[in-house]
Amino acid sequence: MRMRPIPFIPTVSEITAGEAGEIQGLEAVISYWTEGERSAEEWVREVVDFWGPAGFVKRRGDEVLGFAVYGPQECLPRAGQYPVGPLDENAALLAYLEGDARTCRHLLVRVMRDLRLRGFGGVEAVASDLGLPRHVSTRFLSESGWKPVCRGWRAGFPYTLMRADFGSIVEVGELARGLMGRVKLPVLKAPPVPQGTPISVPMHARVRARERRS
């Protein structure tokens, strides 16, 4: 009887400076958000040294399935060019998620869990309402429980500053338990926000996940 090969189980790990240049697409993303000031390797090394982990990569064996990039606002200067602020000085900034929907959910959970354990109260992202390249999708974040803070236009395209406020470590941990299964995050419908108008955001927006079998 011929045995069927066992597929590789996907793993998620922190992005290191040594591997940053080898992850396809990461160089372009970091170059965009740093306005070309740093290579991917230089940026990851610098941010990790003074701030801590700034990205995760998901792999199946040697195959890269996706990655996440986040960090302090001062290290992602292009974010300041979007008329959706002001950004919260005490929040981390999610720059980008790469991968299919399942991969992005897994990566998003890891990012939020890491930041919550490091003492951050929330995380923000300058998201594209049209899902443009090098941006996180506004729709994806909304479906993942994030809230819109302010909307604006840049170069003729709409963008939204999205935010997730963290609850307890236990609540964020509930999301992390779904990493090896299907992560299903709730769809939270928010009312329309006038262009450039800030809206209030709850201090403890709860993000819960339902565990379902694939």
Number of domains making up the chain: 1
Q: Is residue 24 a part of any domain in this protein?
A: no
Q: Is residue 21 a part of any domain in this protein?
A: no
Q: Is residue 149 a part of any domain in this protein?
A: yes
Q: Is residue 165 a part of any domain in this protein?
A: yes
Q: Position 115: which residue type?
A: L
Rounded Cα distance, 174 and 181, in Å:
12
Output the domain CATH number for residue 85.
Answer: 3.40.630
Q: Which domain holds residue 207?
A: 69-212
Phi, psi dihedral angles at 112 (to 5 degrees)? -65, -40
Q: How far is CA 206 from CA 2, 172, 183, in A?
A: 49, 9, 15
Q: Is residue 135 a part of any domain in this protein?
A: yes
pLDDT band at 207 (very low <50, low <70, confident <90, very high): very low
Q: Is residue 111 a part of any domain in this protein?
A: yes
> Residue 126 — left, alpha, or beta (φ > 0 → left; ψ -120 to 50 → alpha)?
beta
Cβ(207)–Cβ(144) below 8 Å: yes
Q: Is residue 170 a part of any domain in this protein?
A: yes
Q: Is residue 134 a part of any domain in this protein?
A: yes
Rounded Cα distance, 129 and 137, in Å:
6
Cis omega (within 30 of 0) for bond into 86? yes
Cβ(179)–Cβ(12) below 8 Å: yes
**Residue pLDDT, tens place only, 12-61:** 999 999 999 999 999 999 999 999 988 999 999 999 999 999 999 999 99
